[in-house]
Structure 1
Amino acid sequence: MFKTKYLACMLGLGAMLAGPAFAQAPGVTDDSIKIGIFGPMTGSAALFGKAVFGVEAVYKDVNDHGGINGRKIDIVREDTGCDPTRGTAAVKKLISQSQVFAINGGLCSGVVMAVKEEVAKAGVPFVIIGAASSAISDPMMPNLFHPVATTSNVAKTMIDFAMTREGTKKIAVVSHSDDWGKSNRDPAVDHLKEAYGLDPVLDLTMERGSSDATPQILKIRNADADFVVLMMYPAEVAIFLRDAYKYGLKVPVLAPQSISLKDTRERVGNDAAVENLYVFYPYAHPTDSPEMEKWGKLINKYYPDERVESFSYLGMSGALAVVEALKAAGPDLTRQKFMDALNDLRDFDSGISSAPITFTPEDHAGIKGGAMATLDDGKVTVMKKWQDK
């Protein structure tokens, strides 16, 4: 009797001691890795949600080629509508209910900023899809990785581009007054002052939801600006360009990576109105080039009815970096091993982004650099210095 109880006790103790050695990380089974994805699939910012399909296409392609270290990626998607409250609920659901291994999400900076505390508390690895605010990764958060150009990097690129045109002295800035607008406007104004000793000739606001840019257009025209820097969302940029054309304002207009040339042209409905539009371009090649078209075909392989746009590619480099880190982490996958592998990523060239991705334990803003793009005879032209059309 005593021996039986003793043996049972020892077996139970042995199981307890052995249990953790065989325990899987959250979201990991012998044949799957659960990754949570969130973005604005509906609502006024649904254009940004196109990037989600690009990310998912990368993971589905990995699965079709056998997965990673014997495991396939199980995708769990949540829609945020670009709303911080919905975004917080979505992330809590991914962490607590879906119990994902990692999250690859976020296209609206306001949503990402709202969920950072929840993600930090849970310790879940979080790789951004496309949200750009510098405040997302500065100060650095150990489990958050930012494989897209930040607003600081974008702003500097835009200002430097304007200043490559000889004689540039007067730059007008128009931005939203919300946190997103400020996170784009502030580094642009600061860089203009610090690098070139200039203040904006005008520093104006145009709120989200505006339907008329006449007051801003008339002020810019009277100020005789050399360039206009717009730090606004797609709908308001289109309204600004429509009204600029209406009032004969032919000044070059620069916009951040949240703006798609072709989408803006369609919103405005007038090719001539977007002739002077230049946008920050996060890619290495024009979207209609063979190098980019292969990625568009990959998206359409899994989403045949999806219309591929510039935004469709935005998170694909980050997803490929996730895949690279999962491979490097090895078959005994843990969150810490995955994050260690991301921290070891150096000059990772996906062939998509305009600059390679590098993470270090001290810096999780992975992209440094970029270019500008414009439509020239209907084709996307990429440039790093001003060129007369």
Structure 2
Amino acid sequence: MLIAYWQYTIMRNSFTRLSALLVALVLVLAACGGDSSGGDTTASPETTASGASTDTEPDSTTATTAAAAAATDTTESGGERGSDATQGVTDDTIKIGVFAPYSGDAAVYSKAANLAEAMYNQINEEGGINGRQIEVITVDSACDATSVSALIRRFVEQDQVFMIHGGSCSNAIVAAKPLIEELGVPFLSMNAASPIISDPPLRNLFHPKPTAEEYSIGVAEFIASNPEAETTAIVAQSDEWGQSWVPPTQETLEAEGLNVAAVEDMEPEVGDATPVIRRALSVDTDMLAVYAYPQPMTVFLRGARPQGLTQPIVTGDGTRPDEQFDRLGDRSLAENFFSAYAFTEPFDSPTFDDLQTLFESEYSNLEWDSVAIEGAVSTEFNLAVLEELGDDLTWENWITTAETLEMDTLVGGPMSFGVFDPNDKTTRRPGSTVRFSALDPTTTGSETVVIENWDEWLALQP
């Protein structure tokens, strides 16, 4: 069962923190000196959910400084919050706000939140977290950056949640960052990837998904791990998404000593990639980095191999080789194609069977895919933090536990953050390893393998 997996991981880390906790307790007792005059500022109000908020405060809400957010937080409705502030917790429940684009053009990305909710439900069936049931409040963000701030304020001030877990659309979270900092509520994003979410970092906002920047660097380092790769080219969609991959990829390739012979644009609606393919052929590259959505990538791969562009092609996490094989209908067109990949095992690995069964048992109308499984990584982490907290469920304790916890997640592998540094974005990123998915060279079907470098790929060759 999933609960047993992360409980084991937490037990490995608990002993190393025990001595530090004992020292802290001695210091606190010494500072208190037996004075009983201080009042308890912890608020644990009864929780209600009575409809949508009418608060429409704009996204330009003035943010407090990171230092102030760490020590004291002030909200319109609640006044000053001390380090022991909390809400959404009773003897029997912990209230969590989950939001995702359940409707609209980006609705497919809400599958991650669907799996998260299913995992919380499973934990409830197994007895909850330290005897408390997780009460999940879900809200549809529709990927609308203009309304997410009101949604978050509703979670905190009306629904009185203990923490927020969600966000599939980067633009929405980025727009709400000033309010997230102002309110001080623990915020764990789900499957949004923009580096701006954690750059600059906020003390109470944790960003567990590898960013496009980290994937770009990973792509370049994977290419550089091939000792025969000396000259490369980069092809990227001409839109903002595609172009965002180019600078970190090019900078890392050049830092690794490779020659970037060409940087080419490709239209997202491309119907024939021949001109781009011919320009790539003209510079005689050893490997290529190509960044495109699934459909333009299909167009590029369909034209590349028949025209003689047989060099290895590496991409970000926008599409997988097995998906391209299904689209192309010809395995040879999707061979020697590598996509950045965040998971520890191939998507169809038996390791993830329990997650697939859980998802399909609650959402039989939805297709299990790599978007859905993304919801497991941050949920595993949150469950581990909540378990570690025991009865000390305050916002400050959640934040300090989350930034010191080290765990080995089932889906994403080793994961840890760091003590907050406003000048270091990596303290709010998980330090995940960028892996790569490719069609298994020992089979003729759509089976995939997961590798980290070129040596591992060579070792798999029949």
Instruction: Give the TM-score normalised by the residue count of structure 1.
Output: 0.84
Q: Alpha-carbon deviation of 1:353? A: 0.9
Say if 2:313 and 2:337, in contact at 8 Å, map to a contact too. yes
Paired residue for 1:113?
Answer: 174
Q: C-alpha deviations, 1:282-315, integer Å up to 9, x for none? A: 1112222222222222222322333221222213
Equivalent residue in structure 2 for 1:283, among 330, 343, 346:
343
Equivalent residue in structure 2 for 1:124, among 157, 182, 185:
185
Structure-2 separation of matches of 1:215 and 1:259: 22
Paired residue for 1:4?
Answer: none
Q: Alpha-carbon deviation of 1:319? A: 0.8
Distance 1:339 1:382, change over 3 A: same
Structure-2 separation of matches of 1:175 and 1:84: 26
Q: C-alpha deviations, 1:72-126, integer Å up to 9, x for none? A: 2222333444443354554454445544322222233333322222212222211
Distance 1:260 1:94, change over 3 A: farther
Report the 3-state secondary structure (helix = DSSP H, G, I; strand = E; otherwise coil) of the residue aligned with 1:85. coil
Structure-2 separation of matches of 1:100 and 1:210: 46
Paired residue for 1:244?
Answer: 304
Q: Displaced runs of 4+ in structure 1, greater than 6 A? A: none
Q: Alpha-carbon deviation of 1:182? A: 4.5
Within 5 Å, give how 1:247-326 maps onto structure 2: 247-326=307-386
Paired residue for 1:352?
Answer: 411
Say if 1:37 and 1:77, in contact at 8 Å, map to a contact too. yes
Q: Alpha-carbon deviation of 1:133? A: 2.7
Q: Alpha-carbon deviation of 1:162? A: 1.4
Matched, 1:134 2:134: no
Matched, 1:205 2:261: no
Paired residue for 1:151?
Answer: 212
Q: C-alpha deviations, 1:297-338, integer Å up to 9, x for none? A: 222232233322122221312111111111222224222221
Within 5 Å, give how 1:176-255 maps onto structure 2: 176=237, 179-194=240-255, 196-245=256-305, 247-255=307-315
Q: Alpha-carbon deviation of 1:349? A: 0.4
Matched, 1:34 2:55: no
Equivalent residue in structure 2 for 1:367, among 419, 428, 431:
431
Across the two proteins, how many residue pairs are aligned to each other? 371
Paired residue for 1:60?
Answer: 121
Paired residue for 2:73?
Answer: none
Report the 3-state secondary structure (helix = DSSP H, G, I; strand = E; otherwise coil) of the residue aligned with 2:408. coil
Please provide the CA RMSD for this pair.
2.8
Paired residue for 1:13?
Answer: none
Say if 2:189 and 2:206, in contact at 8 Å, map to a contact too. yes
Q: Alpha-carbon deviation of 1:372? A: 0.8
Say if 1:354 and 1:370, in contact at 8 Å, map to a contact too. no
Say if 2:413 and 2:432, in contact at 8 Å, map to a contact too. no
Say if 1:260 and 1:311, in contact at 8 Å, map to a contact too. no
Structure-1 separation of matches of 2:218 and 2:141: 30
Structure-2 separation of matches of 1:228 and 1:236: 16
Report the 3-state secondary structure (helix = DSSP H, G, I; strand = E; otherwise coil) of the residue aligned with 1:49. helix
Matched, 1:23 2:44: yes
Q: Alpha-carbon deviation of 1:43? A: 4.6
Structure-1 separation of matches of 2:325 and 2:105: 17
Structure-2 separation of matches of 1:77 and 1:152: 30
Say if 2:229 and 2:258, in contact at 8 Å, map to a contact too. no
AA paired with 2:179? E
Structure-2 separation of matches of 1:291 and 1:62: 19
Structure-2 separation of matches of 1:213 and 1:257: 21
Report the 3-state secondary structure (helix = DSSP H, G, I; strand = E; otherwise coil) of the residue aligned with 1:200. strand
Distance 1:141 1:22, change over 3 A: closer
Matched, 1:327 2:348: no
Structure-2 separation of matches of 1:251 and 1:118: 47
Distance 1:92 1:266, change over 3 A: farther
Distance 1:203 1:89, change over 3 A: farther
Q: Alpha-carbon deviation of 1:141? A: 0.9
Report the 3-state secondary structure (helix = DSSP H, G, I; strand = E; otherwise coil) of the residue aligned with 2:415. coil
Stretch of structure 1 that moved more, 67-76 or 17-26: 17-26
Paired residue for 2:451?
Answer: 383
Structure-1 separation of matches of 2:104 and 2:324: 17
Q: Percent same amino acid among aligned pairs?
A: 31
AA paired with 2:451? M
Report the 3-state secondary structure (helix = DSSP H, G, I; strand = E; otherwise coil) of the residue aligned with 2:437. strand
Report the 3-state secondary structure (helix = DSSP H, G, I; strand = E; otherwise coil) of the residue aligned with 2:245. helix
Distance 1:266 1:108, change over 3 A: farther
Distance 1:227 1:46, change over 3 A: farther
Distance 1:215 1:102, change over 3 A: farther
Q: Alpha-carbon deviation of 1:374? A: 0.6
Distance 1:270 1:54, change over 3 A: farther
